[in-house]
Chains A and B, each alone.
Chain A
């Protein structure tokens, strides 16, 4: 089977009109396309960085607030400047984009504008016809280390998609800043049920790491489920506002039919990232149930289980295997009423294990939360 088409979609800076793009995203994923969604109110630089890291075939922009000629042209210019114009630029803006505008935008590097009245089906067809097929090798200028790493990740994913057994990839060129103080890459694995706040928590950890260590470089491997027999909406970037940073390499992966919260290609991809010279590599599973440990031992230095205080009865707790295996258990949303009970129940459960597991309570969506500070300390301290 051919690998699904991956595209990135986004809405420009100072524009919150996401109704059209949400509808288009839904239609795309129903027709087998994997959509990395960056969200609304996004800078051109963030879009271009994300498109390169995600190694998408095309970048789609939905603009309704005016200034589209300038914005599309800026994105096209940045793609070209970085030698990444193998990523095709498309978009629309209902009736706000005129025929004259389109002519200028196309001249400046936009591949396709969908005018007002284009049906969803026509858009899906266009993407299938023009953005499918294998990636072409880089042409011309030497590709950046980030581009090469992104492409290697694509190759691993595609190999699994074609049903071929993974061959251990050769490490990409190290892109670590040589001046970095940290010698060894630390790998953290985050898992837990859907809605517990894993994505927000990781983004808050990233914010702190970037602040504390002015040269640190971080990679994030994030997972979202594939729709059965179809595409996937990879939406973590939209939530991870602090991770859209030039010192962060982020890659979104669809599970592509594998249960357990990860993709068939995850292990190889993680190995590659761990060997690519980042100070920290953070991996996030999709929302998991009561399965066993999703991470292979040895690959991840610290595993974090993020819990929602609303897990149900104590009996449910006994069934969560990860509670025995995680190094750190986080009760997030600890400002909720139910949290006090949750903390004491989970605490007792961890005591039974008699291990060195640590329980932390956080409110990830609270700015400057002390619990998240503590979690960050625990992750970065040696041992």
Chain B
């Protein structure tokens, strides 16, 4: 049995355990009283906040139950936010407005109006809040990449200029995603399209120019998987060049580096799977030791969802991929408490009903599996999640409707307690977002989180409703069933070799298209209320001019000429380390100082071969 099979058993065992404990709380008086006491204690310690209207609300809303069995079912089965099994959220307070801001004006009133212990707690809270940094990072993290490094740099400054923290998210162009240099034959038209072009670590220096890469208020996310170890090495080399070697342990951010989902859905992988996984594990082993604040893999369902998977398939494949990485890293002898807390996740959020609770169920399964199968501590049990609203749900016809679609998806994403979020721009069916629409996309998040009171005052604002519970239960059953299917092949990797996930995703994609045109899935302005005359809208297209593309090619030529001799030696050394089977990541960090992305990819492919696409 692979670890995935054990996870299925662990979740089933845990569910049984909860039921037994519920029974015990009802029959064993002492235990039942303990649970009731704990419940009352949680309630008593819950701070009270005040909305701008003056309305008082507890910062954690809890179900109105007082019977020992039900209390046990809630505390163990769902758990409080920030506590095992983390159904409601990885952290206790998520998006709540820091209490300090409101407490100043309201604590006195609390004292007068409070009943059953709230008075005391109002004061406690004010103290707690004072000892806590008020300035938390915004969850907003917008994906950008266009043209050359300096163009994307400008966009980054545009997006984060008004934020407390700079949370950047980087999109790369096609040649970069495939580890190809901009001067390769046949790719000129692709330079800087759909993302930015990176050929050398000098481009990486330009990309984050003006940002303090070692600051606790800075983090960078890079969406790239196939050549991720090379790009990660370039990031480190660029940071060292600007801030010296001492910056390395302080670097914060995420690199996607998810090979499994590439092979299952997104197709941006360049080495055979086994070799890709080896390079990936080399990188994870090094970064989890040397860069303890970096997330070296973002286990991604987004592209699985975008490729057509149903929400359950998306979550099941993503979480099972996560367990497969954990199994590989544990097999390398890396302690679970070194790598566990550094695994992060990325899910799509569309408009299907499953999205009401998809992330909640994923968090719960992950926590149980990591604790009971891998023996991880609390930090390694937390499913830390980035969400992106669904690009596939956006429609070209009357594209301004996409604002509404994205707003609804954002609402679902925050109801699911995502840790960071990207909201798509309405113009994305046509183009890399223009400034006009990306600004509205960013504002959408701020309207929900800052302007509206939905997520500011109370945790569990919407969780625990009968509908959400019903979706949760159905999704959990379906996800475990998917796990069993994968396990029947012998685990994630053998299932991939049998094309299991790919064929399931392709079938789901085809069904989705059929449903659009047979009326099962009405798409507004496309198949329903589509009476407007069919006209191509006037959208500002973001494209990279020819001269810029040529500039990138020219810069690369200068770099290659300058390093002609050194790069040869560096590639030979890299080849030697790769052949030896040793961890090649440190050598890669040296190599990128004199070699381009394409030079390194090419040399590695000579040794390990090319990825052979699965149809």
Contact = CB atoms under 8 A, between A and B. Distances in A.
B506 A13 contact: no
Interface in B178-235: 178, 180, 185-191, 193-194
Given A66-B190, A70-B188, A116-B397, A19 B613 contact: no
A96 B536 CA distance: 12
A335 to B, nearest CB: 10
A65 B193 contact: yes
Interface stretch (B3-11, B18-26, B266-274, B278-286): B266-274
Interface string B582-615: 0000000000000000000000000111101111
B542 to A, nearest CB: 9
Nearest to A237: B615
A367 B605 CA distance: 10
A14 B517 contact: no
Interface string A10-52: 0011111111001100110000000001011101110000000
A14 B509 contact: no
A15 B396 CA distance: 21
Secondary structure of the A side of the interface? mixed
Interface string B528-568: 00000000100101010000000000000000000000000
B190 A67 contact: yes
B492 interface: no
A69 B513 contact: no
Contact of A13 (B186, B609, B613, B615): B186
A23 B613 contact: no
Nearest to A240: B612
Contacts of B173: 14, 66
Contacts of B178: 13-14, 41
B268 A16 contact: yes
Interface string A44-62: 1100000000000000000
A50 to B, nearest CB: 14
A22 B509 contact: yes
B243 interface: no
A235 interface: yes
Contacts of A94: 396, 429
B526 interface: yes
Nearest to B274: A366
A2 interface: no
A359 interface: no
Interface string A94-112: 1110110000000000000
B307 A121 contact: no
A42 B122 CA distance: 64
Tier of interface size on chain A: 35 or more
Contacts of A14: 173-175, 177-178, 180, 187, 190
Interface residues of B, number: 52
Nearest to A22: B506
B430 interface: yes
Given A14-B178, A121-B517, A365-B612, A95 B396 contact: yes
B258 interface: no
Nearest to A66: B193
Interface in A113-129: 115-117, 119-121
Contacts, number: 129
A99 B536 contact: yes
Contacts of A66: 173-174, 189-190, 193-194, 432, 543
Given A23-B510, A65-B194, A238-B615, A119 B517 contact: yes
B431 interface: yes
Secondary structure of the B side of the interface? loop
B396 A13 contact: no
Interface in A191-221: 195, 200, 203
B193 A44 contact: no
B186 A241 contact: no
B189 A98 contact: no
Contacts of A71: 189-190
Contact of B186 (A45, A65, A367): A45
Contact of A19 (B180, B308, B431, B514): B308
B395 interface: yes
A241 B605 CA distance: 13
B306 interface: yes
Given A14-B174, A96-B430, A117-B395, A65 B513 contact: no
Contacts of B267: 16-18, 40-41
A195 B494 CA distance: 13
B553 to A, nearest CB: 14
B541 A235 contact: no
B510 A117 contact: no
Nearest to B536: A99
A268 interface: no
A305 B193 CA distance: 46
Given A12-B190, A98-B536, A365-B612, 16 more contacts: A13-B178, A16-B262, A16-B267, A17-B267, A39-B615, A45-B186, A66-B173, A68-B189, A70-B188, A71-B189, A94-B396, A95-B399, A98-B539, A116-B397, A241-B613, A367-B275
25 contacts: A16-B177, A16-B268, A23-B308, A23-B509, A23-B510, A26-B506, A39-B615, A43-B185, A43-B186, A66-B174, A66-B190, A67-B190, A68-B189, A70-B189, A95-B429, A95-B430, A98-B536, A116-B396, A116-B397, A117-B526, A119-B517, A195-B498, A239-B613, A241-B613, A366-B272
Interface of B: 173-175, 177-178, 180, 185-191, 193-194, 262, 266-268, 272, 275, 306-308, 395-397, 399, 429-432, 498, 506, 509-510, 513-514, 517, 526, 536, 539, 541, 543, 607-610, 612-615
